[in-house]
Amino acid sequence: MMVVREKFEEELNQLQHKLIELGNLASNALTNSLVALENGDIELALKIMEDDARVNIIEEEINDFAILLIAKQSPVAVDLRRIIVAIKIANDIERIADFAVNIAKSAIRIGKEPLVKPIEHIKHMHRLTLQMLSLSLEAFGEEDLTKAKKIAEMDDEVDDLYGQTIRDLLHLNATQPNQSSQITQLLFICRYLERAADHTTNIAENVFYLVKGKRYDLNN
């Protein structure tokens, strides 16, 4: 079958590449945010905050480019879904990057003081969330529904860990009230990671919409 819209195809590819670039930036920010926390690395935390400007710029570029494509190419059916989904996924990725910034800010507040207890659960949540982000971007790039579905399963695991960790931290808070400032920050970090994971689930839902043209709720 002859392809007669080569320029449009190329532009859709460009849109996808920009989205992957955005995803990589968010993924780096999220990776570094926990390094900053563990090592009390304030400089790294500040760098995460500074680099977030780039994420915002790329998200705006994606939105502008998508609007231009709609205006110029009058896309329909799967082409239209591809563009709409790109706008929505860009928004989810931008939010994930914001959570990385929030974690970095918490890391700064905790500073160099030793952590009240090993943060294995938080690290586990963080690892899962990063995997989900990377899997969601692969699912989008490859339009792979199996990968998209896997994200929903992983999100259940994150939710379980979240519940456990919150309980642990609240218990710790009761026994070590002098540490409540740090424990509060750790509670926030748990929440940020849980929310970031939810956004990767949104991305997965959008992959389903892209491929099937119907909406699916992967959270239930």
The minimum distance between CB 2 and other proteins, in angstroms, equals: 6
Please give the DSSP secondary-structure letter assigned to residue 178: G
SS3 156: helix
Whether 208 and 218 have beta carbons less than 8 Å apart is answered as yes
Q: Return the residue of 78, 174, 176, 181 that touches other proteins, per CB under 8 A.
A: 78
Total residues at interface with other proteins (CB under 8 A): 15
Select from 27-35, 78-86, 101-109, 194-202 the region that touches other proteins (CB under 8 A): 78-86
- C-alpha 181/C-alpha 203 separation (Å) is 34
Q: Return the residue of 120, 167, 176, 213 that touches other proteins, per CB under 8 A.
A: 213
Token pair recorded at residue 140? 């989008």
Select from 76-84, 129-137, 143-151, 172-180 the region that touches other proteins (CB under 8 A): 76-84
Token pair recorded at residue 9? 């195809």
- Mask 158-177, x = binds other proteins (CB under 8 A)? --------------------
- C-alpha 196/C-alpha 183 separation (Å) is 20
Measured from the CB atom, is 81 or 191 closer to other proteins?
81
- C-alpha 91/C-alpha 161 separation (Å) is 26
Nearest CA to 50 out of 101, 102, 112 is that of 101
Longest dimension (CA), the chain: 71
What residues numbered 3-32 form the site for other proteins, per CB under 8 A?
3-5, 8
Residue 61 neighbours by CB under 8 Å, 6+ apart: 18
Q: Return the residue of 53, 74, 118, 146 that touches other proteins, per CB under 8 A.
A: 74
Measured from the CB atom, is 3 or 53 closer to other proteins?
3
Measured from the CB atom, is 29 or 66 closer to other proteins?
66
The minimum distance between CB 1 and other proteins, in angstroms, equals: 5
The binding site for other proteins (CB under 8 A) comprises 1-5, 8, 74-80, 213-214
